Structure 1
Amino acid sequence: MKNLITLAFVAVLYSCQNTPKNITDPKDYNQYLLTTHTPTKDALLEELGFWQKKFNNDSTKLLQMHKLSNLRAALFGITGETSHLMSSEKLLKKCCNIAGRNHDVYLRELAHNYISQHRFMEAQTLLETAYTYPDNHRETEMMLFDVAMELGEYKKADTLLGKIKDTNDFNYLIRLAKWSDHNNNLEAAIKYMEQAMHIAEKRNNKKLKVWVYSNIGDYYGHAGRLQDSYNNYIKTLSIEPDNHYVKKQLAWMLYSSKKNTEEANRILDSIMINYKAPEFFLLKGEMAEFNGSLSEANSEYEKFLDAAENPQYGGMFNTYLIEYYADRQPKKALELAHMEVANRATPETYQLLAYAQLKTGNKKAALQTIEKHVMGKTVEPTALFHAALIYKENEMDDRVATLKEELRDATYELGPLTSKEIEKL
Structure 2
Amino acid sequence: MKTFNLAIILVMTLLMVSCEKESNQITNRKDYDAYLASKETKSIDFAKNEIDFWQKKFDAAPNQISYLSQIASNYSKLFEITGNINYIYKTEELLLQSNEALKYTQVGTIRALARNYITQHRFKEALVLANKALAIGEGKKATQKLLFDVQMELGNYAEAEKNLKAIQDPNEFDFLIRIAKWNDHLGDLPTAISLMEKAAKRAEKDENEGLKVWAYSNLGDMYGHAGQIKKSYNYYLKTLALEPHNSYALKGIAWIAFSHEKNTTEANRIINIISKKHNSPDFYLMKSEIAEYENNKEKKEKYMSNYFNMLQKNNYGVMYNKYNALIFADDTSTAEIALAIANQEIKNRPTPDSYDLLAWSYYNLGDYKKALEIAQKHVAGKSFEPELNYHLAMIYKSNKMSNLVQPIKEDLLTSTFELGPSFQQKIDQL
TM-score (norm 1): 0.92
1:79: how far off?
A: 1.2
Aligned to 1:161: 164
Amino acid at match of 2:191: A
1:43: how far off?
A: 2.5
Query: Which residue among 357, 376, 379 is the counterpart of 1:371?
Result: 376
CA distance in 2, matches of 1:169, 1:20: 37
Aligned to 2:187: 184
Q: Contact 1:35–1:271 (CA<8 Å) still a contact in 2?
A: no
CA distance in 2, matches of 1:299, 1:351: 27
Q: Is 2:421 the partner of 1:424?
A: no
SS at match of 2:420: helix
CA distance in 1, matches of 2:22, 2:201: 28
CA distance in 2, matches of 1:270, 1:385: 32
Q: What does 1:193-342 correspond to in 2, within 5 Å?
A: 193-310=196-313, 312-328=315-331, 329-342=334-347
SS at match of 2:169: coil
TM-score (norm 2): 0.91
Deviates more, 1:177-186 or 1:110-119: 177-186
Q: Is 2:350 the partner of 1:345?
A: yes
RMSD value, Cα:
1.8
CA distance in 2, matches of 1:100, 1:334: 40
Q: Contact 1:39–1:241 (CA<8 Å) still a contact in 2?
A: no
1:167: how far off?
A: 0.9
CA distance in 2, matches of 1:40, 1:236: 16
The Cα offsets for residues 150-191 of structure 1, whole Å up to 9 and x where unpaired, read as 000000011111111111111011101111111111222122
| Number of aligned residues | 409
Deviates more, 1:303-312 or 1:225-234: 303-312
CA distance in 1, matches of 2:231, 2:330: 37
1:57: how far off?
A: 4.2
CA distance in 1, matches of 2:168, 2:216: 22
CA distance in 1, matches of 2:58, 2:354: 42
Q: What does 1:383-394 correspond to in 2, within 5 Å?
A: 383-394=388-399
CA distance in 2, matches of 1:78, 1:211: 14
Which has the greater radius of gyration? 2
Query: Which residue among 99, 108, 131 is the counterpart of 2:111?
Result: 108
Aligned to 2:401: 396
Q: Contact 2:185–2:384 (CA<8 Å) still a contact in 1?
A: no
1:56: how far off?
A: 4.3
Q: Contact 1:152–1:344 (CA<8 Å) still a contact in 2?
A: yes
Q: Contact 1:39–1:242 (CA<8 Å) still a contact in 2?
A: no
Amino acid at match of 1:105: G
1:72: how far off?
A: 0.7
Query: Which residue among 407, 410, 420 is the counterpart of 1:415?
Result: 420
SS at match of 1:241: coil
CA distance in 1, matches of 2:185, 2:313: 32
SS at match of 2:343: helix
1:21: how far off?
A: 1.4
1:122: how far off?
A: 0.3
Residue segments in structure 2 that go unaligned for 5+ positions in a row: 1-19
1:297: how far off?
A: 1.1
Deviates more, 1:315-324 or 1:177-186: 177-186
CA distance in 2, matches of 1:310, 1:350: 29
Deviates more, 1:411-420 or 1:123-132: 411-420
Aligned to 1:4: none
1:35: how far off?
A: 5.4
Q: Contact 2:38–2:244 (CA<8 Å) still a contact in 1?
A: no
CA distance in 2, matches of 1:223, 1:314: 32
Q: Is 2:145 the partner of 1:134?
A: no
1:42: how far off?
A: 3.2
